[in-house]
Structure 1
C-alpha cells in the first residue's frame, strides 16, 4: 500500500527539491516552459505568454493540500536558482505503481542535475512511500533523457510506437523505462557493498 506524504523538501548534494510558490512563475516561464528546445520533448506546447505559466503554477500550488500530490521545483542549492521540475503521478493503488516525469531548463542540461534529482525522487518513492514500481518514458529522438533514467537505475522495457502526439501534431515513438522496488533495494545494497569493499581495500594500502 502506498503511503502518501505529499511534497516534502528534499536535499541532494547540489539541489533542493521543494514546493513551487506563486513567485516561481516568471522563472519557470523564462527558463523552460517558453523554450521550444524543452517543449519539443513534452506533450504540451511552449508557453507564449506569462499568464499561461502563472495559471499552470497556480494549479500546482493549489494541489499541495492533497497528500497524493508529489510535485517539486528543482533549485540549485548554492544559489536557490529555479532550474526545473520533477513529479510523481498517475498513482495506481491497486498495483502500487506510478510514473515520474521531469524537465530542466536548457542551460542546465548535461550537468547531471536530472540524474541527481531523479535518484532522490526514486529513493523517496521506494523508501518513504512504499511504491512498488516507478515508470517513465521519453521520445526516442531524445536519448539524453534515457541516459538520465539509466543512470538512476531504471531499465529500458521497450518502445511504444506513436505513444504521444505533440503540440506540433507530430507523433512520437517513446522508449519506456521502469524500476521495481526490489530492484532499487538490490542495486542500492550492491553499490553499498562495492563502496565498502573499495574502502577496505584502500585502507589496507
Structure 2
C-alpha cells in the first residue's frame, strides 16, 4: 500500500527539493516556464506572462494540502536559485504505480541536476512511500531526458506513437520508461 507523505523537503549533495511558494512564481517564469526550449518538451506551451505562471504556481501550492500531492521545486543548495520542478502524478492506489515528470531550466541542462533530482525522488518513492513502479516518458526528440532516466536505472519499455500533443498542435511520439521497486532495491 502506498504511504502518502505529501511533499517533504529532500536534500541531495547539490540540491534541495522543496515545496513551491507563491513568491517563487517569478523564478519559475524566468528560469523555465517562459523558455520554449524547455516547454517544447512539455504539453503546455511557454508562458507569455508571469501572470500565467502565478496561476500555475497557485494551483501547485493549493495541492500541498493533500498528503497525496508530491510536487517539488528544484533549488540549488549553493545559491538558493530555483532551477526546475519534479513531481509524482497519476498515483494509482490499486496498482501502487505512478508517473514522474520533471523540467529544468535550459541554463542547467547537461550538468547532472536532472539525474540527481530524479534519483532522489525515485528513492523517496520506493523507500518512503512504498510505490511499486515508477514510470516516465520523454518525447523522442528529447533523448537527453531518456539518458537521465537510464542513469537512475529506468528501462525503456516501449514507444507510444502520438502520445502527446504539444502547445504547437504537434503530435509527439514518446519513449516510455519504468523501474520497479524490487529492481531499485537490489
Q: TM-score, normalised by structure 1?
A: 0.90
Q: CA deviation at 1:45?
A: 0.6
**What residue in structure 2 maps to residue 75 of structure 1?**
75
CA distance in 1, matches of 2:37, 2:116: 21
Matches within 5 A, 1:58-97: 58-97=58-97
CA distance in 2, matches of 1:146, 1:77: 25
Q: CA deviation at 1:152?
A: 1.0
- Give the structure with the larger helix fraction: 1
**What residue in structure 2 maps to residue 55 of structure 1?**
55
CA distance in 2, matches of 1:79, 1:30: 16
RMSD between aligned residues: 0.4
Higher Cα radius of gyration: 1
**What residue in structure 2 maps to residue 190 of structure 1?**
none
CA distance in 2, matches of 1:34, 1:26: 10
Deviation string for 1:124-177 (max 9, x for gaps)?
Answer: 000000000000000001000000000011110010001011110101000000
CA distance in 1, matches of 2:4, 2:112: 28
CA distance in 2, matches of 1:97, 1:63: 20
- Structure 1 stretches of 5 or more lacking a match? 187-205
Answer 1 or 2: higher relative contact order, Cα 8 Å, separation at least 6: 2
Q: CA deviation at 1:63?
A: 1.0
**What residue in structure 1 maps to residue 6 of structure 2?**
6
- Structure 2 stretches of 5 or more lacking a match? none
CA distance in 2, matches of 1:63, 1:87: 12
The 3-state SS of whatever aligns with 2:27 is helix
Q: CA deviation at 1:8?
A: 0.2
Alignment coverage as a number of residue pairs: 186
1:135 aligned to 2:135?
Answer: yes
Q: TM-score, normalised by structure 2?
A: 0.99
CA distance in 1, matches of 2:82, 2:178: 27
